[in-house]
Structures are given as C-alpha cells and as structure tokens.
Amino acid sequence: FLVILLFSFTTILSSYYNGESSLKYFIEKPKKSLILLILFTILSILFGSISKSNIIWNMIDIFVGMLAIINIYAIIKLKNEVY
C-alpha cells in the first residue's frame, strides 16, 4: 500500500511540475493560468478518487492522445532548431 501511495503522489507532483514549467515557458505572467492549473489538478484528483476505474482509464486515453498531438506539434515547430 505504501509503495502505491508514494508512486501516485510522486506522479501527481511530477505531472503538476511539468504543467507548471510548460505554462511558465509559454506565458510570461501565468498567474491566472497557474490558478486554473491548480484547480484542474485538485479537481482531477478528487474526480479520480470517486470515479470508476474504466472512466478514469478512458480519460487517461484521451489525455495521452492530446499530449501526443501537442508533442507532434512541438516537434514540427522545433524541427528547424534541431537540424
């Protein structure tokens, strides 16, 4: 139980940190966006704790697909800096 608890906690922290770092990179003064990110993170944790697992896995699939689209866009946008 302790290992699962620590794994989930560190996953939440690292995901939040990645989101915050991305917002700070793309937006110069992200105060309002950071508040929205905090609210979204808290609501996601609360929703995930009371929902059925199949709903959570379907949402995860959607979010991973969105991340893939964002990453493909970033790769295309940064291709000139890499080559």
Question: Rounded distance, CA 34 to CA 51, Å?
Answer: 25
pTM: 0.71
- Residue 78 DSSP symbol: T
| E strands in the chain | none
pLDDT digits (tens, 9 = 90+) for 16-60: 999 999 899 989 888 999 999 999 999 999 999 999 999 999 999
Triad 62, 71, 24: Cα angle to 5°: 100
